[in-house]
C-alpha cells in the first residue's frame, strides 16, 4: 500500500499573526522538540506545519481528527526530516498498515511545500 499527501503554506502567515495568538498557536501545534529545533524560525515552522497537513491527508483523516502534536517532525544532524507519530495518528497509521514514511520539505518564493509518502502492508 502507498499513501501520499502534499501541502503548501505561505511562510509569512506565522509572521502576520498577533504575537500573543502566535505564541498560543505554536504551543498548540508544535511539540517541544520541534519548537527547540526551529527556535521561532518562520520558514522552518511553516515547513513543519505543511508536513503535518500532508501527513493527515496521507492518513485519510485530515487534521480535524488528528491532534497537531500527534505528528512530530524532527531533523537529524544531517538535516533529514524524520517523522514520529503519537496517539490517534499512530493508531490510524497502524490500522492501515502504514509503517514507513518519506518526507520532503522545500521552501521558495515565500512558500513552504511538503510531500509525504507512506508505505506498508494493505
Q: Which residues are catalytic?
A: 57, 107
The C-alpha atoms of residue 45 and residue 115 are separated, in whole angstroms, by 15
Facing residues of 107 across strands? 112
The C-alpha atoms of residue 120 and residue 76 are separated, in whole angstroms, by 23
How far lies 40's CA from each of 18, 36, 43, 45, 103, in Å? Answer: 14, 8, 9, 7, 21
Give the Cβ contact number of residue 71 at 10 Å: 29
The C-alpha atoms of residue 117 and residue 112 are separated, in whole angstroms, by 17
Amino acid at each position: 500500500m502507498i499513501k501520499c499527501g502534499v501541502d503548501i503554506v505561505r511562510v509569512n502567515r506565522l509572521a502576520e499573526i498577533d504575537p500573543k495568538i502566535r505564541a498560543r498557536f505554536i504551543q498548540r501545534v508544535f511539540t517541544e522538540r520541534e519548537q527547540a529545533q526551529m527556535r521561532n524560525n518562520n520558514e522552518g515552522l511553516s515547513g513543519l506545519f505543511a508536513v503535518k497537513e500532508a501527513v493527515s491527508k496521507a492518513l485519510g483523516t485530515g487534521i480535524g481528527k488528528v491532534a497537531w502534536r500527534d505528528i512530530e517532525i524532527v531533523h537529524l544532524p544531517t538535516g533529514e526530516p524524520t517523522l514520529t507519530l503519537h496517539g490517534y495518528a499512530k493508531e490510524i497509521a497502524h490500522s492501515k498498515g502504514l509503517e514507513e514514511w518519506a518526507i520532503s520539505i522545500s521552501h521558495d518564493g515565500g512558500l513552504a511545500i511538503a510531500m509525504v509518502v507512506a508505505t506498508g502492508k494493505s
